[in-house]
Chain A
């Protein structure tokens, strides 16, 4: 099982004890988790300390350590420099990929995202027709920016007409930040494990973002977080508490249809990153993008 470790209490010390991540406070052990089981470590709390030996062990397993601001928005990610045996060749192929190839890949990612958004709207009984129409108009490289047009239609229906996405704000926005942080950690891990460089993105490359590729590849999965946040807000209110965090972290275990079977999200992002790496090397685009889950699955997220 992939576990997300969340450090939320001030003054904790993280260290390594044999095959475990040990959490202590005033040198008394609070808890431990096997290192092999960790999918990501998310740190919000002030005054957290750690040992270098722990960080190198986490890096060895490709586990990202994410440092967050007060609003649960990620500020920094610690990732290993090498994560794959054929990394040199992969990164060279990634770096040398031709523009049309990258634009085609981005088109496929945006298509998968808008499809997922349509499924999300469908699951809450909102019309998804405009989004489905837009999909046909997505061009190579999304030059007409259908992604943004879809978002303009999507957000008011998903979160209410007054909603504005603002990473610095609280409530729904803070919940979204947290959900995306979990997703970004899982995706960043997948990108490095696939031997790709996270800074060289498909679309986000021109922004000052060290995790551009992770941000690109997590796009199709974002509506899952949106659905979960919506359900959490409706049932329990817009507060980032333990129950909400648990519900959002559970997202990485949600089963998605992919290929012939179903795959949990944490594995689906891994397959997507690997398929992109292989596509770069072979020069032939074959992305393993997830299909949309049924409306019942989407409606049950965050419960």
Chain B
């Protein structure tokens, strides 16, 4: 376990969180919002809440790359905010769901078994 932490710290693990408010009054606006959502999914972002998407990145440079890519796919109107967290901070998120406290999220492992 100790070894794993030492190995992974070299990656400067980070999380990127995208929050957005997009107008959905007209049909083209709804279409643009859907397109942006699908773009985030294609990029490997997972939905953590409505209009809040999160993804794991490998470090500062990878974070910047993601931000650049998102900036090229923005819808015409609406607000998009992008945050980044260290791995540690992300793990410490307090999550309540239906009055109960949820367990902390597990970080991705090097091996995923199915």
Contact = CB atoms under 8 A, between A and B. Distances in A.
Interface stretch (B28-36, B95-103, B104-112): B104-112
A281 to B, nearest CB: 26
A249 B108 CA distance: 13
Given A3-B108, A18-B42, A303 B114 contact: no
Contacts of A253: 7-8, 10-11, 110
B114 A7 contact: yes
Chain A CB within 10 A, most for which of B13, B42, B43, B111: B111
A19 B43 contact: yes
B111 A249 contact: yes
Contact of B44 (A5, A31, A37): A37
User: SS class of chain B's interface: helix, strand, loop or mixed?
Assistant: mixed
Given A18-B38, A19-B42, A255 B113 contact: no
Contact of B10 (A8, A18, A262): A262
Interface residues of B, number: 24
B44 A1 contact: no
Nearest to B58: A1
A36 B44 contact: yes
A250 B10 contact: no
A12 B7 contact: no
A164 B46 CA distance: 47
Contact of A250 (B13, B43, B111, B112): B111
B11 A242 contact: no
A264 B10 contact: yes
A30 B114 CA distance: 8
A5 B111 CA distance: 6
Given A1-B58, A253-B11, A34 B44 contact: yes
Interface residues of A, number: 35
Given A18-B38, A19-B42, A255 B114 contact: no
B44 A35 contact: yes
Contacts of A3: 108-112
A245 B43 CA distance: 28
B110 A31 contact: no
Given A33-B108, A249-B111, 14 more contacts: A1-B58, A2-B110, A3-B108, A3-B110, A4-B112, A9-B114, A18-B38, A18-B41, A18-B42, A245-B113, A249-B110, A250-B111, A253-B7, A264-B10
Interface of A: 1-9, 12, 17-20, 23, 30-31, 33-37, 242, 245-246, 249-250, 252-255, 262, 264, 300, 303
20 contacts: A1-B13, A1-B56, A1-B58, A2-B110, A3-B109, A3-B111, A6-B114, A19-B44, A20-B44, A23-B114, A30-B114, A31-B114, A34-B44, A34-B56, A245-B111, A253-B8, A253-B11, A254-B7, A264-B10, A264-B11
